[in-house]
């Protein structure tokens, strides 16, 4: 994919795909323009988002990433009350403890799947504990997450070719997920609890509260965005080291480099490859005239590899500074979970380096059917203890 993106960037920063009518943005500065101008490039896809069949819950109502101001500002204020950077920082000791426990489970093995053993369960347990739902249900969340990813019904029509229809088993999983989350919301409405669901249910801005539908949508989004992306980020760190083994040796020797390493992994191998906008009015970008209601595909991966923005952009360089990658977005929709994803990834990398003197990756299995996802769903490691 990087080769194609590089070719596109070399010939044009913005391209209109005549077969779908969508506009694709590849250049860093043009991506920044789109992300910064939410009055022209909106996030509410309205009629363009195919609704799921009537008997399948719609998790897209009130999702922050698909909402425009002024509603977005209000929703974001409501959920940020429950999701502050301070509350994330307080999680650090618990994340360290969980990470140690997960690595302990495979302490006697010289070969294991990093995703199954550590990087899948960790973020999902953390998010489940934040929400106040039993983390022992994490197998269910994975099943539901994969069901959501597999059908793509929430993606704007025409932007992903051949988006599959919802199968009966996917529909059943989505109904189960909805019922599960509703049960927890009802419970918090009956008796308040100091967990994330409790705080979301109680949060208030200008006398407004979130409806059940909005809370369900947000919880669904958190369960998916809050764990899958972070799982991918941690696996991507190892995949970057496979390409640049000297970088791993350097971080091992100097742990002050961990922070910059994670930022460079975020730039070099972003877990989310692209995002969407829909033009609210006619505009022009990179010499391309764009009519209103045009889906715009923002190639974040491409922006992160734009040679006009990053020197030696195709080199994995843990000393890169500044590193203004676009992996968490930019502007009003900037990722709320960025501090959590960064924290978890740093803790896992430190623990891995503490435990093992040597780490080698086997053959990863990638998410081939989800074009927006960049990373491994399985990553076998061979390790030698320190």
| CB-nearer residue toward ligand HEM: 62 or 226 | 226
Q: Which residue is nearest to ligand HEM (CB)?
A: 337
Distance separating alpha carbons of residues 222 and 181, to the nearest angstrom: 12
| CB-nearer residue toward ligand HEM: 42 or 52 | 42
Told to check if 230 binds ligand HEM by CB under 6 A, we report yes
Which window, 11-19, 158-166, 227-235, 375-383, contacts ligand HEM (CB under 6 A)?
227-235
Told to check if 337 binds ligand HEM by CB under 6 A, we report yes
CB of 69 to ligand HEM, least distance (A): 10
Which window, 95-103, 135-143, 195-203, 331-339, contacts ligand HEM (CB under 6 A)?
331-339
Told to check if 76 binds ligand HEM by CB under 6 A, we report yes
Alpha carbon 135 to chain centroid distance? 20
Distance separating alpha carbons of residues 169 and 150, to the nearest angstrom: 11
Interface with ligand HEM: number of residues (CB under 6 A): 24
Query: Within 123-142, which residues bind ligand HEM (CB under 6 A)?
Result: 127
Binding mask 203-222 for ligand HEM (x = CB under 6 A): -------------------x
Distance separating alpha carbons of residues 324 and 326, to the nearest angstrom: 7
| CB-nearer residue toward ligand HEM: 216 or 222 | 222
Q: Which of 15, 328, 356, 374 binds ligand HEM (CB under 6 A)?
A: 328
Told to check if 279 binds ligand HEM by CB under 6 A, we report no
Told to check if 226 binds ligand HEM by CB under 6 A, we report yes
Q: Which of 5, 8, 25, 64 binds ligand HEM (CB under 6 A)?
A: 64
145-168: b (≥16 Cβ within 10 Å) or e: bbbbbbbbbbbbeebbeeeeebee
Which window, 16-24, 50-58, 102-110, 326-334, contacts ligand HEM (CB under 6 A)?
326-334
Tokens coding 130: 């934040």
Told to check if 333 binds ligand HEM by CB under 6 A, we report yes
Q: Which of 95, 224, 285, 341 binds ligand HEM (CB under 6 A)?
A: 341
Which window, 100-108, 174-182, 270-278, 374-382, contacts ligand HEM (CB under 6 A)?
270-278
Told to check if 329 binds ligand HEM by CB under 6 A, we report yes
Told to check if 349 binds ligand HEM by CB under 6 A, we report no
Which stretches of the chain bind ligand HEM, using CB under 6 A? 43, 64-65, 76, 127, 222, 225-226, 229-230, 233, 270-272, 275, 327-329, 333, 335-337, 340-341
């Amino acid at each position: 994919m990087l080769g194609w993106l590089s070719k596109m960037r070399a010939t044009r920063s913005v391209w209109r795909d005549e077969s779908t009518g969508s506009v694709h943005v590849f250049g860093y500065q043009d991506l920044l323009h789109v992300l910064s101008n939410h009055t022209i490039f909106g996030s509410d896809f309205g009629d363009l988002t195919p609704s799921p069949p009537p008997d399948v819950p719609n998790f897209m109502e009130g999702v922050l990433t698909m909402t425009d101001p002024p509603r977005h500002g209000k929703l974001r204020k409501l959920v940020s009350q429950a999701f502050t950077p301070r509350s994330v920082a307080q999680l650090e000791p618990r994340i360290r403890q969980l990470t140690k426990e997960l690595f302990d489970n495979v302490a006697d093995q010289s070969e294991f799947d990093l995703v199954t053993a550590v990087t899948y369960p960790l973020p999902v347990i953390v998010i489940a504990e934040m929400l106040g739902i039993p983390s022992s249900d994490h197998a269910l969340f994975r099943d539901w997450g994969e069901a959501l990813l597999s059908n793509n019904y929430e993606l704007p029509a025409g932007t992903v070719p051949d988006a599959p229809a919802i199968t009966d088993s996917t529909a059943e999983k989505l109904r189960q997920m909805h019922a599960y989350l509703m049960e927890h919301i009802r419970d918090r409405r009956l008796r308040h609890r100091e967990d994330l669901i409790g705080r979301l249910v109680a949060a208030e801005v200008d006398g407004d509260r979130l409806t059940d539908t909005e809370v369900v949508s947000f919880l669904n989004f958190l369960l998916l965005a809050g764990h899958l992306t972070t799982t991918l980020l941690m696996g991507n760190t190892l995949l970057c080291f496979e390409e640049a083994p000297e970088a791993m040796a350097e971080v091992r020797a100097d742990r002050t480099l961990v922070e910059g390493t994670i930022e460079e992994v975020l730039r070099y191998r972003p877990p989310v490859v692209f995002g969407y906008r829909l033009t609210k009015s006619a505009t022009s970008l990179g010499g391309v005239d764009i009519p209103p209601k045009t889906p715009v595909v923002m190639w974040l991966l491409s922006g992160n590899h734009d040679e006009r923005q990053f020197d030696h952009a195709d080199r994995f360089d843990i000393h890169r500074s500044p590193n203004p990658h676009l992996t968490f977005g930019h502007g009003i929709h900037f990722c709320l979970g960025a501090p959590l994803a960064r924290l978890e990834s740093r803790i896992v990398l430190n623990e891995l380096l503490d435990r093992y003197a040597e780490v080698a990756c086997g053959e990863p299995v990638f998410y081939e059917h989800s074009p927006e996802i960049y990373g491994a769903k399985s990553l076998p490691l061979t390790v030698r203890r320190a």
